[in-house]
Amino acid sequence: MGGLGPRRSVCSRDIAPIRNTETGKETEGVQKTAEVVIIGGGVMGASIAYHLAMRGCTDVIVLEAKSLAAEGTGHSGALVRQHYSQDVVTEIALRSVRIFEDFEELTGQRNVFQQTGWIKIGSEDMRVEMERLIVRHRRIGVEVRMLSMQDLRAMIPGINTDGVGFALFEPRGGHADPVATTLGFANVARSKGVAICEGVAATGIRLNKGRVAAVETAAGTIQTSLVVNAAGPWGGRVGSWAGVDVPVQVTREQDVVLACDDESLMPRYPVSNGVDRDYWRRKDGSMLLVGDGHPKQSDYADPDNFSREADRPFGKMIMERLHFRLPEFAKHARIVKGYASLYDVTPDWHPILGRVDAVEGLVLCIGFSGHGFKLGPAIGGLIAEEILDGKAQSLDISALRLSRFAKKELLQGAYAGNQA
């Protein structure tokens, strides 16, 4: 399949102002034609638009039904790590770290990355897999070192190390601001001529002889030969418009935010805790965001109708885990906020990327299964390659294509359960 090829000049625009009936907000409107239409304005849609624009492809429309980063992205824990089971995902995570590190320089926007380093703790029965993984990760270029229990206690004062078999540290990890990251990419794309339409939902995809011909929206039809499905939890629905079965299930995921009377007890480092199955990281400097880690039960949800509040039993469960692992902190901490958002989960908990064999002009960028934020900066570049060059050139992403499900070539996680 050929890509869009070398860049031509920016297409002329035919913009009609439209009003979102829900919010009353006026948008730039939608063009009647575009080279590329991206459905979804989370981190993925924004990053793809940014990378396309940086390569000179600016005849692009991003359609976002609500506002940028309104859904999973805006509620992301946004921990940044490179510790993954599949080398291709680790490579993408490492590339994203480089973009986060250079975000200000690359985008001219403010820094979005707190490069504190990231700690993983695991139980003894995870050790063999972990050791295998870090050998591979180092070969890819990931910086990682093992922590002794003494190191761990020094880095997380007050931690109870019962049940902790190992701890590792990625100094280039940390956490980022997911909304600012998305807006940063979108701002650059917009400044180069990309149309970012908030409050405009895509409502259909028109095909002509098996090729994408147009995207329908409430504000009119956009003729295009290339559409990117970056609709996250709505990705299955968007796929069905083109007759493509995209195996994405939607689950509801909760986080709580804690304040603490004594800030010195608040852990400084983001941690993925594979022992008690939770994760935490600082939020807004003085609070701690805590969520449920893997493996975990799936709470399947309707993306158009789910409770956005965290449940009381969830908060209670998190507090119990913290009372065990960080007893001093938990004694002085209280939940000040809780919320729920959505994961778009594939059968193997790995994303679906790239062009689709059955429909020419349809590119998928969905199914991030709860760990996509940190991959977003680099994935935008890979999807831009799929669009412009026909396929991703700088990295072989064939293992992440939709066809893996039909071929029964599902990807495996190194650890038990649904951990990618």
Contacting positions for ligand FAD (CB under 6 A): 39-45, 63-66, 70-73, 75-79, 201-202, 230-234, 238, 253, 255, 291, 341-343, 368, 370-374
Give the angle subtended at the CA of 317 by the CAs of 311 and 319, to the nearest 5°.
Answer: 105
Pairing state between β 333-345 and 118-122:
unpaired
CB-nearer residue toward ligand FAD: 22 or 124: 22
Is residue 375 a contact partner of residue 285, using CB atoms and an 8 Å limit?
no
CB-nearer residue toward ligand FAD: 59 or 255: 255
CB-nearer residue toward ligand FAD: 111 or 161: 111
CB-nearer residue toward ligand FAD: 153 or 337: 337
Find out whether the peptide bond into 327 is cis, omega within 30 degrees of 0. Answer: no
Q: Cβ of residue 377: shortest distance to ligand FAD, in angstroms?
A: 11
DSSP string, 346-399: -TTS--EEEE-SSSBTEEEEE--TT--GGGHHHHHHHHHHHHHHSS-SSS--GG
Q: Cβ of residue 203: shortest distance to ligand FAD, in angstroms?
A: 7
CA 50, distance to chain mean position in Å, is: 15
Q: Cβ of residue 403: shortest distance to ligand FAD, in angstroms?
A: 20
Cα(185)–Cα(189) distance, integer angstroms: 6
Cα(108)–Cα(105) distance, integer angstroms: 5
Burial 195-227 (b: 16+ CB within 10 A, else e): bbbbbbbbeebbbeeeebebbebebbbbebbbb
CB-nearer residue toward ligand FAD: 57 or 79: 79
Q: Select from 379, 270, 273 the least CA-distant residue to 325.
A: 273
CB-nearer residue toward ligand FAD: 232 or 315: 232
Cα(418)–Cα(174) distance, integer angstroms: 22
CB-nearer residue toward ligand FAD: 4 or 219: 219
Q: Cβ of residue 149: shortest distance to ligand FAD, in angstroms?
A: 25
State in Å, rounded, how far the first CA of the chain is from the last one: 30
Cα(44)–Cα(73) distance, integer angstroms: 9
CB-nearer residue toward ligand FAD: 150 or 305: 305
CB-nearer residue toward ligand FAD: 66 or 296: 66
Cα(56)–Cα(41) distance, integer angstroms: 20
Cα(26)–Cα(20) distance, integer angstroms: 6
Is residue 38 a contact partner of residue 226, using CB atoms and an 8 Å limit?
no
Q: Cβ of residue 281: shortest distance to ligand FAD, in angstroms?
A: 8
- Tokens 């297409």 — which residue? 11
CB-nearer residue toward ligand FAD: 65 or 359: 65
Q: Cβ of residue 420: shortest distance to ligand FAD, in angstroms?
A: 10
Most distant CA pair in the chain, distance:
65
Which residues have a Cβ under 8 Å from the Cβ of 286 and sit 6 or more positions away?
A: 259, 263, 266
